[in-house]
Homo-oligomer: A and B are copies of this chain.
Amino acid sequence: MLTFAEENYLKAIYHLSDGGKKGVATNDVSHAMRTKPASVTDMMQKLGEKGVIEYRKYYGVHLTEDGRKLALQTIRKQRIWEVFLVEKLKFSWDEVHEVADELEHVRSQILVQRLDEYLGYPKFDPHGDPIPDEFGEVKSRPRFPLSELEVGASGQIVAVKDSSAAFLKYLDKVGAYIGARIKVLDKVEFDGSVEILVDGKKSIFMSKDVAMNILVMQ
């Protein structure tokens, strides 16, 4: 059984390791968790003991298969709660993070099952991220940053990479949303900024920084 803190660390490691593939540095976990590196080292050693990560002194950590599954179970809960908050309680997609970050730790299998059922077994959360199944499997659809689309190319917004309130509020303001059909009208070579057409009617201009954080599929 993992504690709240352990679950949070595991989630952070999962995200930083790109789904368990890459190794993760102490400093990066420290940054993500907003704790000091010394605290991270402590926790890494404990998680190592528990067998959910492989910890090699001075060389960062890797998730074990067990660790990956546990991380995904928490992520599953987080995303299901996010769907609930947006679909049922009318939260906006920029308000759900904090709350879901607490709700995800509520321990009850039956609760997640019933909630999932109640929501109609959603496949994606409000930010377009896939909801893992109860066995820790994620089937992610191919997606890439909008910044990589060529001029003239079309696609559909399927997710956001950054889900900070600031970024999401900006997207709301300019009218970009998950599911929108888009086409790249122009691209400035100098700074990578782009102009896109949304749903065949509205044209939006955005910096490369923004375009990199919008994920599309074709």
Contact = CB atoms under 8 A, between A and B. Distances in A.
A89 interface: yes
A99 interface: yes
Contacts of A91: 110, 114
B115 A89 contact: yes
Interface of A: 85, 88-91, 95, 98-99, 102-103, 106-108, 110-111, 114-115, 118
A73 to B, nearest CB: 16
Contact of A108 (B98, B106, B114, B115): B98
Contact of A111 (B89, B110, B114): B89
A179 to B, nearest CB: 24
Report how many copies the assembly holds: 2
B106 A99 contact: yes
Contacts of A118: 88-89
A118 B90 CA distance: 9
A91 B108 CA distance: 12
Contact of A90 (B99, B103, B114): B114
Given A88-B118, A89-B118, A118-B88, A95 B110 contact: yes
A54 to B, nearest CB: 31
